Amino acid sequence: MSRKIIHVDADCFFAAIEMRDNPDLRDRPMAVGGRPDKRGVISTCNYEAREFGVRSAMASAYALRLCPRLTIVPHSMLKYREASQVMRNIFLDYTDLVEPLSLDEAFLDVSDCERHQGSATLIAQEIRGRVAEALGITVSAGVAPNKFIAKVASDWQKPDGLTVVTPAEADAFVRRLPVDRIFGVGKVTAEKMQRLGIATCGDLRRYSVHELEEAFGSFGPRLHRLCRGIDERDVCTSRRRKSLSVEHTYEKDLENLAACEEKLPDLLAELKQRLQRLEDDYLVVKGFVKVKFDDFTSTTVERAGTQARLEDYAQLLEEAFERGARPVRLLGVGVRFVDLTQKESNIQLDFFEDPTAPQPPS
């Protein structure tokens, strides 16, 4: 039996909450984010601001240059979390299979829901109405046989939209889908596809899995499946971490490598504190350093087997810095995990233990 998956995504969530609570912000460009004079970043913005090119993850100062009339409101995380929980409780009225992706979006598997005679379309319509009534904001939804298509569909008619893709329509829907709608196809991959004459998922289907793997590496097999609308992932009610990191945006650019290296000890100390609060069923397998330069380009260098020693991260930092060799606005350090709850044979190691230190006799 075909599954019935709904992806619900709030429309410009943080901004919508702020406009709800302050009607003066409506019908004019506004965003939620940090202060432009403190190297702040835009978290989200309303659709009026998007018409000027303002986007999430954009520097607030740059957003103001694009849209001088932009009003930037500080975050009110308590309000956002409360609204997110209201949405979550509504979702749980229909199914226990709810997979939150963030505060403002989630997958629901309603295959076994008996409400509305099992109609996923009517369930999605009712959920959208209940969220609007309870919170005074709009959400968009996509209904489809799997997670990939449902997520694409929820974005199809934003804002305040509902797109339904039935099993019979799925193949045609995906075939004409632009390749940049596939999660993971970023600017670089999209440009490579363009050079190969690939514009839609239908174009991707001309290539075998081996050809795609040769052209796009480990992403190739996934592209081969998704361009055919194949996605067998379950809706998971428990999401486990795959990484943990700390990063800092500096009020003044770090002019050279030496200035960046001075910041490493504090970043590593904070990372260690956060790691100590994790459960014991994670195995650290990689360390990484992230650098964002003053031109907003960024790079990440990671390496398996990295110990949390200053000299190891300093080496990663040096490699990352050399890729841009220009002033740095943001530095981050982190680790990637293996989930030991899914791997029975691994043993948790102390990431912050010096492997060269003498060990006590057994």
On whether the CB atoms of residues 143 and 164 are closer than 8 A, the answer is yes
Report the C-alpha gap between 349 and 55 in whole angstroms: 41
Report the C-alpha gap between 27 and 19 in whole angstroms: 9
Report the C-alpha gap between 146 and 176 in whole angstroms: 17
Q: In 3D, which of 43, 40, 41, 37 has the Cα closest to residue 13?
A: 43
The dihedral built from the CA positions of residue 248, 251, 253 and 257, taken in this order, carries a sign that is negative
State which H helix or E strand residue 260 sits in. helix 257-276
Catalytic residue list contains 105: yes
| Cβ neighbours for 68, distance < 8 A, ≥ 6 positions apart | none
Report the C-alpha gap between 254 and 210 in whole angstroms: 44
Any known ligand binding at 104? Answer: yes
Report the C-alpha gap between 267 and 265 in whole angstroms: 6
Any known ligand binding at 93? Answer: no
Determine which one of 82, 105, 247, 262 is catalytic. Answer: 105
What residue numbers does the annotated binding site cover?
9, 104
Q: Which of the residues are catalytic?
A: 105
Q: Which residues are annotated as a binding site for Mg(2+)?
A: 9, 104
